Structure 1
């Protein structure tokens, strides 16, 4: 089926009132930098209430000991420690050190070069080379092989420069100087935002994907053209976002590492953490705190799991429930409206991820749904955590495309490598 390409609708809705950046409020953080909410106040059967829930505790599974006559220490290890496909926590992007409580991942920082001479600082998250994925601890995605169309994949090669082997990219610059800003729209529906600006913008040829040694790698740029000595000032944090990606918590060429903020979501009912680095259009790039990567536009969407598809689907809600009691997180909270009100991330629903499905790709074809007025009035609106749960509500007519239009691909791609799952 031909993709519906809702991009013109979403962009026209947002751009209708899109203005300049002066005085714009910052975008809601898609990547948590938080500590777990404190638990206090014994209730019943050893249950404790979480005070000040955070982005992590909002989706973190409850202890199995709740309601039992024994403490959590009596329970055995998670089944995922025996077999990764079974229920339980599992880190998928093993190349980095995961701080699950703060929602951060520390990855190796690679230094490359553009053909014109500028320094490129990048990370590696995925590849279509299965053996090297296992060796490096990054995600394997066979679908990336089919992204090499048009500007979808940049070309790169290893070259010997001043006695050092360096990956040299033929094209793709990123400007990190723009100020990331998203101004919520007027209530009662803050989405679409009235103004937005991605904090980093790639040139016309930029895609995070690169062909290196005959294989496609997901190699997002986190800093460009900045000397190592300048970036070393951010080894302990306080990064200058005019110089680095907005997801950077700290960056340290001296130690060859970068720490990045992660995003919370779900995949087939399992809470997950993922890294959002690029988007093909300015609206999702600004909403995600990601880099605008125009090269991704050349990759086909709407074909999901068909032969030669490079994408997997990601599902987002416009008008899910929002927090309505001070100091409490609504248990069904979700969606763009909620995120733009400052409640937290949108809690998007990812399709297949490794260990759960065979069709994983870090390139997510963004599908956006809106609860109908009838669904809202009948209290059918709930937090959705799985692809087929989402599609079932579309099938029954409770969810439509934005503005009541047909449901399907927006035409947008977001680059979001999976990092870990909680279950």
Structure 2
């Protein structure tokens, strides 16, 4: 049985594990907005519905990936589980999250991303063929889920970068979560592999609802439960990640990364095919990516309302991750892509000494800090693309 965990370092002096229960509780207190009744003279029940129920562009909660059921208390989503095959007949179990087909996105409850059309370059998108029985046959791309994810943090106070790391699942040289349907309009879909070359019976043992226990040597590390059969077909429940987009708290699904370090950090699959994607173009013509902003040395301390960044995620046990900032998402902008170009930044010593360091929650706030020199790239380098990309479909917007 593979257990994802953070491993002991001499600097920390103890072994501590990633605690899902603590992380979920932390997520609720860190990003969930307080009710509008606080400070008012009437109870919450007297308030009207959220404006987003009238128009999703207005303030209020919106489920963006509507193909599955979101559990806000446990920060998970349960999605349909699809079975395809390789040309050699091996089972490929996957989910669908995003597409360039706007009509099918609306019909299936997927995220629509026009930008993904420009991701079909090099090995960044694999070819898939729609068969007569409705399944997909994938031309190439495999994933090994057997490695055990480990991270050895650096010594305090600089827990990042880690001393060593091992991703929990690794794709072959052709693997990418993106696929292009060669015989059905050529649309691009985000179809991350959740399990590979395992039978339905093997997966059924990881169905928690039926008394099973998830074997992460067979499935993606974000899987909470996977049930290949059910009343409405197969399903898989996946853990979500917390963050912000234009000052709105969000939940997103982190599933793949182009290289080992972000894959190990995010508990996701290494997808080498994503290395062929152009980076640094943001919202320019033919760019397939959107920017995601991650702090190296943000404020630390579990319970600190300003907590954020890699050092906190590795050094504050039980927190809900680094609280990254996403660029455009649906209902907020038109430039959404599930493929995020990591812009990693660090607060300068002068900014920290002056007391300016705080939690950032929106893109232009960060860009303004970079323009004024309060933040830079790691180690004082140039601010911008780190070369890392991650596949993180947006799921839910709180406000």
TM over 0.5: yes
Where do 4+ consecutive residues of structure 1 move more than 3 Å?
Answer: 24-29, 32-36
Given the alignment of the two structures, is residue 243 of structure 1 paired with residue 218 of structure 2, yes or no? Answer: yes
Given the alignment of the two structures, is residue 152 of structure 1 paired with residue 130 of structure 2, yes or no? Answer: no
TM-fit CA distance, 1:318: 0.3
- Determine the structure 2 residue equivalent to 1:40: none
| Secondary structure at the counterpart of residue 353 of structure 1 | coil
TM-fit CA distance, 1:27: 7.4
Q: Equivalents in 2 of 1:33, 1:147: separation in Å? A: 36
**Is the alpha carbon distance of 1:25 and 1:117 closer, same or farther for their aligned partners in structure 2, counting shifts above 3 Å?**
farther
TM-fit CA distance, 1:166: 2.0
8 Å CA contact retained: 2:241, 2:320: no
- Determine the structure 2 residue equivalent to 1:292: 270
- Determine the structure 2 residue equivalent to 1:131: 103
Match of 2:47 among 75, 80, 88: 75
- Determine the structure 2 residue equivalent to 1:360: 336
8 Å CA contact retained: 1:25, 1:181: no
8 Å CA contact retained: 2:242, 2:320: no
Given the alignment of the two structures, is residue 188 of structure 1 paired with residue 168 of structure 2, yes or no? Answer: no
8 Å CA contact retained: 1:158, 1:167: yes
| Secondary structure at the counterpart of residue 410 of structure 1 | coil
Q: Equivalents in 2 of 1:294, 1:210: separation in Å? A: 14
TM-fit CA distance, 1:165: 3.4
- Determine the structure 1 residue equivalent to 2:5: none
TM-fit CA distance, 1:217: 0.2
Does 164-173 or 257-266 show the bigger shift? Answer: 164-173
Using structure 2 for the length normalisation, give the TM-score: 0.92
Q: Equivalents in 1 of 2:16, 2:202: separation in Å? A: 25
- Determine the structure 1 residue equivalent to 2:135: 166
Given the alignment of the two structures, is residue 301 of structure 1 paired with residue 282 of structure 2, yes or no? Answer: no
Which string of whole-angstrom CA distances, capped at 9 and with x for unpartnered residues, describes residues 95-135 of structure 1? 00000111000000000001121100000000000000000
Which string of whole-angstrom CA distances, capped at 9 and with x for unpartnered residues, describes residues 9-37 of structure 1? xxxxxxxxxx9xxxx968757xx55697x
Cα RMSD for the two superposed structures = 1.6
Q: Equivalents in 1 of 2:320, 2:389: separation in Å? A: 22
Given the alignment of the two structures, is residue 350 of structure 1 paired with residue 326 of structure 2, yes or no? Answer: yes
Q: Equivalents in 2 of 1:398, 1:227: separation in Å? A: 53
**Is the alpha carbon distance of 1:35 and 1:392 closer, same or farther for their aligned partners in structure 2, counting shifts above 3 Å?**
closer
Which string of whole-angstrom CA distances, capped at 9 and with x for unpartnered residues, describes residues 350-371 of structure 1? 0000000000000000000100
Q: Equivalents in 1 of 2:22, 2:351: separation in Å? A: 33
State the aligned residue count.
376
TM-fit CA distance, 1:56: 2.2
| Secondary structure at the counterpart of residue 27 of structure 2 | coil
Given the alignment of the two structures, is residue 401 of structure 1 paired with residue 373 of structure 2, yes or no? Answer: no
- Determine the structure 2 residue equivalent to 1:340: 314
**Is the alpha carbon distance of 1:357 and 1:25 closer, same or farther for their aligned partners in structure 2, counting shifts above 3 Å?**
farther
The 5 A counterparts of 1:252-271 are: 252-255=227-230, 256-271=234-249
- In structure 2, list runs of 5 or more residues that go unmatched: 1-8
Which string of whole-angstrom CA distances, capped at 9 and with x for unpartnered residues, describes residues 53-73 of structure 1? 522221100110111111100
**Is the alpha carbon distance of 1:25 and 1:282 closer, same or farther for their aligned partners in structure 2, counting shifts above 3 Å?**
farther
Which string of whole-angstrom CA distances, capped at 9 and with x for unpartnered residues, describes residues 219-246 of structure 1? 0000000101111111116311100000
8 Å CA contact retained: 1:34, 1:101: no
8 Å CA contact retained: 2:119, 2:125: yes
Q: Equivalents in 1 of 2:18, 2:377: separation in Å? A: 23
8 Å CA contact retained: 1:320, 1:335: yes
Q: Equivalents in 2 of 1:241, 1:395: separation in Å? A: 43
- Determine the structure 1 residue equivalent to 2:3: none
Given the alignment of the two structures, is residue 392 of structure 1 paired with residue 364 of structure 2, yes or no? Answer: no
Q: Equivalents in 2 of 1:175, 1:417: separation in Å? A: 22
Q: Equivalents in 2 of 1:271, 1:229: separation in Å? A: 39
Q: Equivalents in 2 of 1:111, 1:143: separation in Å? A: 26
Given the alignment of the two structures, is residue 283 of structure 1 paired with residue 261 of structure 2, yes or no? Answer: yes
| Secondary structure at the counterpart of residue 54 of structure 1 | helix
Given the alignment of the two structures, is residue 143 of structure 1 paired with residue 115 of structure 2, yes or no? Answer: yes
Which string of whole-angstrom CA distances, capped at 9 and with x for unpartnered residues, describes residues 202-223 of structure 1? 0000000001221000000000
Q: Equivalents in 2 of 1:351, 1:112: separation in Å? A: 32
Given the alignment of the two structures, is residue 60 of structure 1 paired with residue 32 of structure 2, yes or no? Answer: yes
Match of 2:205 among 233, 239, 242: 233
- Determine the structure 2 residue equivalent to 1:374: 350
**Is the alpha carbon distance of 1:315 and 1:291 closer, same or farther for their aligned partners in structure 2, counting shifts above 3 Å?**
same
